[in-house]
Homo-oligomer: A and B are copies of this chain.
Amino acid sequence: MKTRLPAPPGMTWIDGATTAPRGFRAAGVRCGIKTKGPDLALLASMTEAVSCALFTTNAVKAAPVLVSMEHAASRQVRGFVANSGCANCATGERGLQDAYEMARLAAEGLGIPEDQWLVGSTGVIGTFLPMEKVRAGIDEAVESLSPEGGPDAARAIMTTDTRDKQVALEVEIGGRTVRIGGMAKGVGMIQPNVATMFAIMTTDAPLDPEALERCLRAAANRSFNCLTVDGDMSTNDTVALFANGAAGGDPLESHPDHLARFQAALEAVCVDLARQVARDGEGATKLVEVRVSGARTESDARALALAIANSNLVKTAFFGNDPNWGRILMAAGNPGIPLDLNRLRVTLAGHPVFEYGRPAGHDEAAVSRAMETEELLVTFEMQDGDAGVSAYTCDFSYDYVKINAEYRT
């Protein structure tokens, strides 16, 4: 079951993923890195674009991340070439040359400068890319590139993902129709900052690079940076937004209300992708939203929400449908942010379980039954200020252990 939050007022979810916005083409093909399924993705704006990309803060960065960081600095990146099945990480100089070659091959195939490409690789750490397969794959992807290829590209970046993650949204801004599309992959090694393996967004909105970066950082702070599956940060995380302006009209930043509307739409897209990733977390039986409100600052709210969302003890309790609010308090206390239990209310699946210093007098069996759902909402309601944020995670089941104890065997 796949549920989506209602689109914000005046906006509409549409099909097409990263190729929903005008001027983008994509493809996803199989080149044989994985044992089955498509494993090579290509995405590009056919016209020039501005961009922003955010990367893992892990000290161990994969070769494609190093190449992408170099290219992204110009803020003119408009293409993404990626493989699944091999992370090209801890592969030294040879890995770096392989990553450069991926960008060069895509560039030559499409006549887009080499330094306008991001490169992505996802899969096992510590093995070299099978470059013959990759070369053939990029050739084939160039051939099959299409304005309807967004969903194919989304499928080609999957590893242990059980579902592809894609989204597109349409919004009227200042009399023109703007579209934002996106795709993501990631099921484990998911933790802020930029908690996902890949999340690549496209838009046909006209934006200058500074405005675009502000929008992307703000949206990421309320989506990918609020997402955790297992507290392990990937070596390959890449989040990017390409904007080619094909929707026409004035740059959005020339009208503050236009930019704000775009910002809201982008956040909706990013939150939707983050929810898709959390729902598909390794071994997950439920999507969990931890909604903190009444905090002094958004930064406090995020730290508290993530501390709860990251706790193995909280997440195993959710798997067992155990309304164990004591563990939620314990987890919330971990960052050391002052908590006044006498001004705190906690609800699980709509049922208060802790209210103002004491248990809420709830029926534990009834709350446990209500927790048997595919989308569990936890609210953590403080009275210290106006800031709030939601963190997205999943429960922690036997299958997480199974998947990760047996990953390579």
User: CB within 8 Å of B: which residues of A?
Assistant: 57-61, 87, 89-90, 92, 124-126, 188-189, 191, 230-235, 310-313, 316-317, 319-320, 322, 324-327, 329-339, 341-342, 354, 357-359, 396-398, 400-402, 404-409
Cβ of A326: which chain B residues have Cβ within 8 Å of it? 87, 89-90, 124-126
Tell me whether B335 and A59 are in contact (CB under 8 A). yes
Which of B189, B341, B359 contacts A330 (CB under 8 A)?
B189
Tell me whether B404 and A336 are in contact (CB under 8 A). no
Tell me whether A312 and B409 are in contact (CB under 8 A). no
Q: Please tell me how many copies of the chain the complex holds.
A: 2
Which of B319, B354, B407 contacts A90 (CB under 8 A)?
B354
Tell me whether B401 and A401 are in contact (CB under 8 A). yes
- A–B complex contacts, Cβ < 8 Å, 24 sampled: A58-B330, A59-B334, A59-B336, A60-B341, A89-B329, A90-B326, A90-B354, A92-B341, A92-B357, A125-B326, A125-B329, A125-B330, A188-B313, A232-B331, A233-B334, A234-B330, A312-B312, A317-B405, A319-B405, A322-B405, A322-B407, A322-B409, A324-B408, A398-B401
Which of B90, B325, B339, B358 contacts A329 (CB under 8 A)?
B90
A380 to B191: give the CA distance in the assembly, Å.
Answer: 23
Which of B330, B339, B404 contacts A316 (CB under 8 A)?
B404
A317 to B405: give the CA distance in the assembly, Å.
Answer: 5
Tell me whether A59 and B90 are in contact (CB under 8 A). no
Cβ of A320: which chain B residues have Cβ within 8 Å of it? 404-407, 409
Cβ of A325: which chain B residues have Cβ within 8 Å of it? 126
Q: Shortest distance in angstroms between A310's beta carbon and chain B's nearest beta carbon?
A: 8
* Known contacts A317-B405, A401-B319, A409-B320; is-contact A232 B59 (Cβ 8 Å): no
Cβ of A89: which chain B residues have Cβ within 8 Å of it? 326, 329-330
A87 to B406: give the CA distance in the assembly, Å.
Answer: 36
Tell me whether B406 and A339 are in contact (CB under 8 A). no
Cβ of A354: which chain B residues have Cβ within 8 Å of it? 90, 126
* Known contacts A90-B354, A92-B357; is-contact A324 B407 (Cβ 8 Å): yes
Q: Shortest distance in angstroms between A136's beta carbon and chain B's nearest beta carbon?
A: 26
Tell me whether A235 and B124 are in contact (CB under 8 A). no
Cβ of A235: which chain B residues have Cβ within 8 Å of it? 329-330, 333
Which of B231, B333, B400 contacts A231 (CB under 8 A)?
B231
Which of B57, B316, B332, B408 contacts A400 (CB under 8 A)?
B316
Tell me whether A401 and B316 are in contact (CB under 8 A). yes
Q: Shortest distance in angstroms between A375's beta carbon and chain B's nearest beta carbon?
A: 19
Q: Shortest distance in angstroms between A379's beta carbon and chain B's nearest beta carbon?
A: 17
Q: Shortest distance in angstroms between A409's beta carbon and chain B's nearest beta carbon?
A: 6
> A125-B327, A320-B404 are known contacts; what are 9 more A-B pairs with Cβ within 8 Å?
A59-B333, A59-B334, A59-B335, A87-B326, A89-B326, A231-B312, A313-B404, A322-B406, A398-B402
8 smallest beta-carbon distances between A and B, as pairs: A125-B326, A320-B405, A60-B333, A316-B404, A58-B333, A59-B333, A126-B326, A230-B312
Cβ of A334: which chain B residues have Cβ within 8 Å of it? 58-59, 191, 232-233
Cβ of A60: which chain B residues have Cβ within 8 Å of it? 329-330, 332-333, 339, 341
Q: Shortest distance in angstroms between A252's beta carbon and chain B's nearest beta carbon?
A: 34
Q: Shortest distance in angstroms between A125's beta carbon and chain B's nearest beta carbon?
A: 3
Q: Shortest distance in angstroms between A294's beta carbon and chain B's nearest beta carbon?
A: 15
Cβ of A310: which chain B residues have Cβ within 8 Å of it? 231
* Known contacts A312-B312, A404-B316, A408-B322; is-contact A333 B233 (Cβ 8 Å): yes
A235 to B393: give the CA distance in the assembly, Å.
Answer: 23
Cβ of A317: which chain B residues have Cβ within 8 Å of it? 404-405, 407
Cβ of A313: which chain B residues have Cβ within 8 Å of it? 188-189, 230, 232, 404
Q: Shortest distance in angstroms between A296's beta carbon and chain B's nearest beta carbon?
A: 13
